[in-house]
Amino acid sequence: MKMITAIVNKDDAGNVCHALTEAGFSFTKLATTGGFLMSGNTTLLIGTEDDRVDAVIETMRSKCCRRTEIVPATASYGMNMASSYPLEVTTGGAIIFVTDVVRFEKL
């Protein structure tokens, strides 16, 4: 058995959750916040059999997409002077971790 931990961009989370449910996968959904942009994410915890891991990842891949956003960035010039300028960053998609499950019990 495997545990898939997937951190999904908030803009993709609804479509991913719907697709996983339609494909018959169960998951636990957690609201999380990313550290870099301090933006909302959804973390999904998905327990599945070893032979279904690729199906989970492909289902998620079909609903996640990377996109470019312009966000304000702050650069400090010393002496307490700061200036904001736009910064282009890539967002979206998902970060996926697959780990072995040593023991599983459903109570």
Positive or negative torsion for Cα 14, 20, 22, 25: negative
In degrees, rounded to 5, the angle at the alpha carbon of residue 86 between the alpha carbons of residues 63 and 74 is 115
Q: Is the pLDDT of residue 59 over 60?
A: yes
pLDDT of residue 38: 60
Mean pLDDT of 12-35: 92
pLDDT of residue 80: 55
DSSP state of 34: -
Confidence (pTM): 0.77
Q: Is the pLDDT of residue 20 over 90?
A: yes
pLDDT of residue 1: 96
Q: Is the pLDDT of residue 107 over 70?
A: yes
pLDDT 10s digits, 65-106? 777 777 666 544 455 555 567 777 767 788 999 999 999 998
Q: All domains of the chain, ordered by start, with CATH?
A: 2-100 (3.30.70.120)
